[in-house]
Amino acid sequence: NPLAGFLYGWSSFMVIQTATIAAVGVAFSKFLGTFVPALDINDENLITQIGIFKIYPAQFVSIAIIVLLTFINTRGVKEGKWIQTSLTTIKLLSLFGLIILGFFLAAKSEVWDANWTDAWSMTSRNNTGEITGKVFGSAILGAIAAAMVGSIFSSDAWNNVTFIAGEVHNPKRNVGLSLFLGTLLVTLIYVAVNIMYISVMPLQEIASAPQDRVAVAASKVIWGDAGAAIIAVMIMISTFGCNNGLILSGARVYNTMANDGLFFTAAAKLNKNDVPEVALWLQCIVASALCLSGQYGNLLDMISFVVVIFYAITIAGIFILRKKRPNAERPYKAFGYPVLPAIYIVMALAFCILLIIYKPAFTWPGLIIVLLGIPVYYIAVAKKNNS
C-alpha cells in the first residue's frame, strides 16, 4: 500500500528518525554539561522562551553535533562505517566495565534489599522520597506507560538494519539474525546495567540524579569524582556513535522513497561519493529544528508514541497477509502466531492511548504530524505520480 509506506516514511522524516537523532544529540549535550555547567538544562541557562518552547545553549551544541556527523556521512560510506565501528566498540566496553565494576566494587546488599522493600506497593512519593499516598486504577496504567517511554526509546533503532537490507550479504538469513541478536544483546546489557544501578544506589538517588544523569551518579558512587568524569566521556562517545548510525541509516529511507516517487525527487540523487547527500541534509534540517522544539523527555514522548503506532500497524499486517496471501513464501516466521502478535497489538494500542491521556503535550502533536501525512500524500505525491 503506497499510502501506508509513505506515512511511515513521512513519520520517520518528521518524527521517528529525526526526533531520535535530536534526542540523542540533546543527550550528548546533557552529559557534556558534567564538564560545562553552562550546558545544564535549568532556568539559570535559559536563553529565551517562545510559548511552551524553552531554548538553552545545550540545544545549539546538539545541532552542531548533528551537522558535523551529517557532513562526515556526505563524504562517503567508509568514513561513516569506520566511525560507527570504533565508537560502538568503545560504547560496549564502557557499558561492560560499568556493569562489572559496579557489581564488584559498589554493590551493597542493604541497598538492594531496601530498594525491593515494598517494591510492588503502588504508592506515590514526593521529591524527598516520602510516600504521599496510594495509586489506584487507571493511574497505575498511566504510570506504567510513562515509565515505558524511556525503555521503548532506548531499544528503538533495533530495526534500522532493515533500512540497508539491500546492502546486506545474504539478507534472507542475516537480516533476521541481526534483528534477533542485536535486540537480545541490547536487552541483556540494559537489564544488567539497571540491576547494577539498584544494587548500588537507593531508588530516591536514582530518581533525583542531577539532570537525569544516572550513569554519572552511579559512577561517582563506584569510583568517586574521577569515575563520574570518565563515564560522562564514555556516554558522550556512545551518543556520538549512536547518532552517526542513525544519520547513516535514516537517509537511506528517504533516498529509497524518492526512488519510488514518494519523496522529494532531489533526495533520490547520489553525490560523487555514492551517498544520498540531499537526503542527509534534509534529515539534518528537521532534526536540528526538533532539537529546539523540546527537551530530552519531551522528544522521547513523541518518538515512543509514534513509533509504537507503526509497530502495531506492521504487526497487524501479518494477519492481513496471512489472509490475502496464504500461500506466499515466508522466509521469516512469526513466532507464536496468532497469539503473540495479537497480544502485542493490544498492548501497543493500550500504551498509545494511555500516553494520549496522561502525557498529551507531545503525543498529540506526534499524532497530528502522522495524520498530516495523509493530505500531503494525496495532494503532492499521488497527484505527481498520476501525472
Domain ranges of the chain: 2-116+143-386
Q: What was the pLDDT predicted at 345?
A: 96
Q: What was the pLDDT predicted at 62?
A: 94
Angle, CA of 160, 379 and 316, to the nearest 5°: 40
Hey, what's the cell of 180? 534477533
Angle, CA of 18, 187 and 293, to the nearest 5°: 20
- 278-333 pLDDT per residue, tens: 999 999 999 999 888 766 677 788 888 899 999 999 899 999 989 998 888 887 77
- Kindly tell me if the per-residue pLDDT of 124 is higher than 80: no
Pairs from 172-177 (Cβ < 8 Å, separation ≥ 24)? 172/331, 176/331, 176/332
The mean pLDDT of the chain is 85
Hey, what's the cell of 200? 548500588
Among 42-56, 270-284, 354-368, which range has the highest average pLDDT?
A: 270-284
Distance CA 87, CA 90 (A): 5
- DSSP summary character for residue 365: H
Are 283 and 70 spatial neighbours (Cβ–Cβ below 8 Å)?
Answer: yes
Q: Kindly state the average pLDDT of the residues 124-144.
A: 72
Distance CA 42, CA 47 (A): 10
Tell me: cis bond preceding 338? Omega within 30 of 0 counts: yes
Q: What was the pLDDT predicted at 68?
A: 95
Nearest Cα to Cα of residue 152 among 306, 4, 13, 288: 306
214: amino acid identity, one letter: V
Q: What was the pLDDT predicted at 361?
A: 82
Pairing of strands 48-50, 53-55: antiparallel
Q: What was the pLDDT predicted at 372?
A: 92
Q: What was the pLDDT predicted at 245?
A: 84
Q: What was the pLDDT predicted at 78?
A: 66
DSSP helix/strand/coil, 278? helix
Are 59 and 295 spatial neighbours (Cβ–Cβ below 8 Å)?
Answer: no
Look at the domain 2-116+143-386 and name its fold.
Amino acid/polyamine transporter I (1.20.1740)
Question: How would you class 209 by CB atoms within 10 Å of its CB: exposed for 0-12, middle for 13-18, buried for 19 or more?
Answer: middle
- Kindly tell me if the per-residue pLDDT of 225 is higher than 90: no
136: amino acid identity, one letter: F
Q: What was the pLDDT predicted at 128?
A: 62
Range with the poorest average pLDDT among 234-243, 257-266, 328-337, 340-349? 328-337
Q: How many CA atoms lie within 13 A of 24 on its CB side?
A: 27
Nearest Cα to Cα of residue 60 among 72, 49, 47: 47
Hey, what's the cell of 34? 558534567
Question: What residues form DSSP beta bridges with 24?
Answer: none
pLDDT band for 350, please (50, 70, 90 cuts). Answer: very high
DSSP helix/strand/coil, 123? strand
Distance CA 366, CA 223 (A): 41
- Kindly tell me if the per-residue pLDDT of 384 is higher than 80: no
Distance CA 347, CA 308 (A): 10
pLDDT band for 198, please (50, 70, 90 cuts). Answer: very high
Question: How would you class 65 by CB atoms within 10 Å of its CB: exposed for 0-12, middle for 13-18, buried for 19 or more?
Answer: buried
Task: Give the DSSP H/E element, type plus range, for residue 227.
Answer: helix 225-259
- Kindly tell me if the per-residue pLDDT of 52 is higher than 70: no
Are 318 and 330 spatial neighbours (Cβ–Cβ below 8 Å)?
Answer: no
Distance CA 368, CA 302 (A): 11
Range with the poorest average pLDDT among 57-66, 142-151, 197-206, 347-356? 142-151
- Kindly tell me if the per-residue pLDDT of 13 is higher than 90: yes
Share of the chain above pLDDT 90, in %: 22
- Kindly tell me if the per-residue pLDDT of 134 is higher than 90: no
Range with the poorest average pLDDT among 15-19, 123-127, 239-243? 123-127
- Kindly tell me if the per-residue pLDDT of 54 is higher than 90: no
DSSP helix/strand/coil, 55? strand
Q: What was the pLDDT predicted at 263?
A: 86
Distance CA 150, CA 153 (A): 5
Distance CA 56, CA 152 (A): 26
Q: Kindly state the average pLDDT of the residues 13-20.
A: 90
152: amino acid identity, one letter: I
Q: What was the pLDDT predicted at 385?
A: 65
Question: How would you class 159 by CB atoms within 10 Å of its CB: exposed for 0-12, middle for 13-18, buried for 19 or more?
Answer: middle
Q: What was the pLDDT predicted at 387?
A: 60
Q: What was the pLDDT predicted at 139?
A: 77
Q: Kindly state the average pLDDT of the residues 82-104.
A: 83
- 146-177 pLDDT per residue, tens: 888 888 888 777 777 777 776 677 887 888 88
Are 54 and 258 spatial neighbours (Cβ–Cβ below 8 Å)?
Answer: no
